Structure 1
Amino acid sequence: MEEWELKAYLKAGDIARRVKEEALRYVRPGMKLVNVCEHLEGLIRSLGGQPAFPINISINEVAAHRTALISDDEVIPSDSVVKVDIGVHVDGFIADTAVTLCFNPAYDLLIEATKEALDSALNSVKAGIRFSEVGKVIESIARRYGFRVVKNLSGHSLGRYLIHAGESIPNFYDRLNLRRFKSGAAYAIEPFLTKGFGYVKEGKLITIYSLKRTRIKGGLSSDEVKLLNVINERFKTLPFTERWLKDLGYGPSKLRELLRKLIKRGYLRGYPVLIEIASGVVAQFEDTIVIVDDNVVVTTRK
């Protein structure tokens, strides 16, 4: 890894850490999701970064992929467990971090267990160790507390302008996963714990998208071509939300129709919200690491 790349990772991590601290201070029951998302995304930009993906605010049994829509009326409920997932990039180099806020004391132990799972996982990482050995650490802590890991959610390698760069870091011991941590690489470690069944399913709601292919063939309307070009220019391969396109003047209904058509035609991916299959409340904590020689640098912590 070149020195300038490491500097970009460290800057992105510092911004993400500060935004995470703001989320802990700022987010409270009764707030609109759209206000929270726009506040935190605005802070990322004001600190010198760009969102690597829309702020995710996933509540209770919703584990991931929920961001606010344009004029979203949903509010954070009282007595809820709220996961705030934050992505920052600096010149395409990404920091990915998450925190869970608990407004229901019944889930305090779940929060404690998930925090400990992440801390222990980070302490176990070194160049050359198998991903599954870290997953084993996470799962053992979950079991000790009486919880399950969410098996079909995982940590992941990071690449330039790539949130998921092709490698998955399981939150359990997967004997078939033979991959190892490598020096010069960046990874996101993110335990998800639950009292539920330990798997998520896709819901119907899609609030996040990403570009799937850029080569435009015939058969698209002028609006579809315009939208694709804007998406490619603004976001490249990084995920985005309809909120970041509202300046185009289509209006929410027309914009969603265009996005649906582009998914159907294979130009975009849609990311449905992910819901624990037994409606179990899910907690998540996440940090980003960069391995430099024999040193593991957690970019999203002080």
Structure 2
Amino acid sequence: MSITIKTGAEIDAMRVAGRLASEVLDYLTPFVKPGVTTEELDRLAHDYMVNVQGCVPAPLNYAPGGHKPYPKSICTSINHQVCHGIPNDRPLKDGDIVNIDITVIKDGWHGDTSRMFICGNGSIAAKRLCAFTYEAMWKGIAKVKPGARLGDIGHTIQTFAENNGFSVVREFCGHGIGRKFHEEPQVLHYGRPGTLEELKPGMIFTIEPMINAGKRDIKSLGDGWTIVTKDRSLSAQWEHTVLVTETGYEVLTLSAGSPPIPDFVSAAQTASA
């Protein structure tokens, strides 16, 4: 396995790309409400990335082996859609939950992040799933430091999710990122502590758990991209791009509008300072 270690200049470029990706989500936030179509959100995001940020939308026409080109600039996964939902002309309804996944390319470098949005008045169950998935992602991020193992991240996320009655999707995972959209390593959101690759300063990868309210089983729709839960239970996902530093980690996909970092993360950072 060839995991690239980024240089200082490359890390600086990734900081820019990561912040820009997060700022697309900041820009979209006020538009995500009942009545808007995901196609309209895609158009807004595309125009913002291209005309304001000078970025390239990485998903547009992305075609990994065996896939037909992805037709839009963002991914929008609603309710029981797990990931890779394709924007369309169906208006969002009150109570829908939607994951918006943004990847920009700026000066050849990728920034990748996603957030959950609740349209209007979400159910208690939907709010709980979205909140716990956000916390699960941060519990994984908090495990990142030199000498730790990828299995530590996965084990922490899996344990937290399953202890709270949720299930973790196994077929999709986080990934290394840089000049390529998807690089080594694969970052599983389940597993055993002390296993898999050792983390080293300069590694950059995403942590993006997909957590289901029901069973973890999934299936692919006929469009070749959209993944849904088999039991039609709600699914949530959050994603950040993370750098392994000399002493811990740095989240590269934070911006002014990012949701607050959980208290347990802030407390741990204060204690180690």
TM range (shorter): 0.7 to 0.9
Which protein shows a greater Rg? 1
Match in the other structure for 2:37: 32
Match in the other structure for 1:199: 217
Pairs aligned (count)? 233
For residues 95-154 of structure 1, give each alpha carbon's deviation from its aligned partner in whole angstroms, at most 9, with x where no partner exists: 111101123223111011011111111111112321111011111221232111112221
Match in the other structure for 1:117: 136
8 A contact 1:152–1:199 mirrored in 2: no
Is the counterpart of residue 280 in structure 1 residue 233 in structure 2? yes
Match in the other structure for 2:123: 105
Q: Which residue identity does 1:127 align to in structure 2?
A: P
Match in the other structure for 1:180: 198
Match in the other structure for 1:240: none
Distance in 2 separating the partners of 1:128 and 1:50: 35
Q: Which residue identity does 2:158 align to in structure 1?
A: E
8 A contact 2:149–2:193 mirrored in 1: no
3-state SS in 2 of match to 1:4: helix
1:1-302 correspondence runs (5 A): 1-45=6-50, 46-53=52-59, 54-68=73-87, 72-103=88-119, 104-106=122-124, 107-160=126-179, 162-174=180-192, 178-206=196-224, 272-302=225-255
Give the TM-score normalised by structure 1: 0.72
Instruction: Show structure 1 runs of 5+ residues with no match.
Output: 207-271
Instruction: Show structure 2 runs of 5+ residues with no match.
Output: 1-5, 60-72, 256-273
For residues 222-255 of structure 1, give each alpha carbon's deviation from its aligned partner in whole angstroms, at most 9, with x where no partner exists: xxxxxxxxxxxxxxxxxxxxxxxxxxxxxxxxxx
Q: Which residue identity does 2:213 align to in structure 1?
A: K
- Return closer, same or farther for 1:133/1:283 CA change in 2, 3 Å cut-off: same
8 A contact 1:81–1:100 mirrored in 2: yes
3-state SS in 2 of match to 1:141: helix
- Return closer, same or farther for 1:177/1:94 CA change in 2, 3 Å cut-off: farther
Q: Which residue identity does 1:93 align to in structure 2?
A: W
3-state SS in 2 of match to 1:5: helix
For residues 202-233 of structure 1, give each alpha carbon's deviation from its aligned partner in whole angstroms, at most 9, with x where no partner exists: 11014xxxxxxxxxxxxxxxxxxxxxxxxxxx
Bigger fraction of residues in helix = 1
Distance in 1 separating the partners of 2:156 and 2:46: 33
Distance in 1 separating the partners of 2:244 and 2:55: 22
Distance in 2 separating the partners of 1:77 and 1:132: 38
